[in-house]
Amino acid sequence: MILSPILADYVDPCLDYGDYGGNGAKGGGQKRFRDEGDPGSCSNLSYRVDGDPGSRIFKFEWQNASLYDAMDSCFLNMQIWYYEDGHILEFRYGSSLISNDDLAEIQESEWLTPIIAFEETSTQDGYYAFLSGDPDNPVFYCGSYAELYSQMESGSLAFLNHQPYPNTVYRFEPTTVGVQTYELLGVSVSPNPVSDWLFIQGADHAMVEIYNETGQLVSAQTYTGPVEVSGLTSGVYFVKVTRDGRSAVKKVLKCN
């Protein structure tokens, strides 16, 4: 899949994205995108909708985007595509220039990777999702702002260690979780995603087994109350509930 330029129907040459830095960010203040190489300008932001109703694709593009407080040489071309059919989200990267020095400075105040944030208040009490590690083989992380901030402060969690290479596409497709039921009816799990405690409705005094994606059994107990899963690493797990010879299997997403 190749990133291709968007012929924009809409261009706002100076759209303000507000305070990305927050009180704890280096420099603080507002982090508006500017056009690469020109500190006094703003990057073109454009969008287009292609396709017919029911199968439309919304495309948004940052063109030669940099930051007001970053080095003049730092820039990034990026698109976000959202598919109406299937609710698929893609982050598409074009040419960019981000040196190691730029990377070190930007990461103190900016999210360099695709990020999805869910916040209900200005207290930043929400869930975040982003990529970490090698851009060619990144690791997906999700969790609350407090959890992620704590891990980043301790150095146990980091962003991508290099800007995504040109024509890189990160594709996120919805997965169906918590709907598979076999024989044993009335079983449901919540919350899903889960971080600390897993509640299982309809599992009183049943055997509860939790398996990871490779089929390894990681937990087994008779259900008498919420199951603690805080010690599990992030990822997809299968919860098997068995009683009276019948069983149900639920798929859950564990977020740290």
Q: How many angstroms separate the CA atoms of 61 and 52, rounded? A: 21
pLDDT tens-digit profile, the chain (256 residues): 334 444 333 333 333 333 333 332 222 333 344 555 555 556 677 888 888 877 888 988 887 776 555 555 677 788 888 998 888 888 888 887 766 555 544 444 444 444 444 444 445 555 666 777 777 877 776 666 666 667 667 766 666 777 778 888 888 887 655 544 446 778 899 999 999 999 999 999 899 999 987 788 899 999 999 999 999 999 899 999 988 878 888 999 998 7
Report yes or no: 103 and 125 within 8 Å, Cβ to Cβ: no
Q: Assign 125 to helix, strand or coil.
A: coil
Report yes or no: 101 and 108 within 8 Å, Cβ to Cβ: no
For residue 218, give both structure tokens.
């990681």
For residue 175, give both structure tokens.
């997965």
CA-based nearest residue to 163, from 238, 255, 66, 22:
66
Q: How many CB atoms lie within 10 A of CB 55?
A: 11
Q: How many angstroms separate the CA atoms of 6 and 62, rounded? A: 10
Structural domains present in the chain:
10-172 (no CATH), 188-254 (2.60.40.3080)
Q: How many angstroms separate the CA atoms of 235 and 30, rounded? A: 35
